[in-house]
Structure formats: C-alpha cells, structure tokens
C-alpha cells in the first residue's frame, strides 16, 4: 500500500466517516474509494443492461395470470 500525503476537507472526511462507520482517516478514505469504484462499476453494468447487454432476458414481461383479479 502506498503512503501519500494529501489535503483532505475535514468536514467531508467527517461526513464520510459517519456514513461508512469508520473511525480512522485511512479507513474512511479507503471506504470512500471502494464505494466510488463499486458505484461506477454498478452504473456501467446497468448502462450495459440498458443498451441490450442481455437480449434474451430483456423485453416485454407478461403480467401474472391473476393480475388485476380482485
């Protein structure tokens, strides 16, 4: 793991620590980095799906046979 000296906004760091439940700066920064990576990967996957990435699993869905019966 690389050691890097950076200036971090203390208020944003504190807010992130509260969100992630972390207690150290290192843990908070690592959690935020991991979260950003996962969010982008999920969005990329959703974009791929939206562009027809799984053509056999997308398209119209027939409602259940008992739909609307009451």
Question: In the chain, where are the structural domains located?
Answer: 10-50
Dist. CA 18–CA 28, nearest whole Å: 9
pLDDT the model gives residue 59:
63
In 6-69, where does DSSP find H-type helix? Answer: 10-20, 25-50
Residue 13, burial from CB neighbour count under 10 angstroms (0-12, 13-18, 19+) = middle
Contact 33, 44 (CB under 8 A): no
Q: From first to last of its 70 residues, what are the pLDDT tens digits of the chain?
A: 889 999 999 999 999 999 999 999 999 999 999 999 999 999 999 998 888 888 777 666 677 787 665 5
pLDDT the model gives residue 32:
98
Residue 28 CB coordination number (10 Å): 22
pLDDT the model gives residue 68:
62
């Amino acid at each position: 793991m690389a050691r890097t000296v950076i200036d971090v906004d203390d208020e944003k760091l504190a807010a992130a620590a509260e969100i992630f439940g972390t207690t150290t700066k290192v843990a908070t920064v690592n959690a935020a980095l991991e979260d950003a990576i996962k969010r982008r990967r999920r969005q990329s996957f959703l974009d791929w799906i939206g562009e027809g990435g799984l053509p056999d699993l997308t398209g119209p869905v027939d409602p259940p046979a008992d739909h609307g019966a009451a």
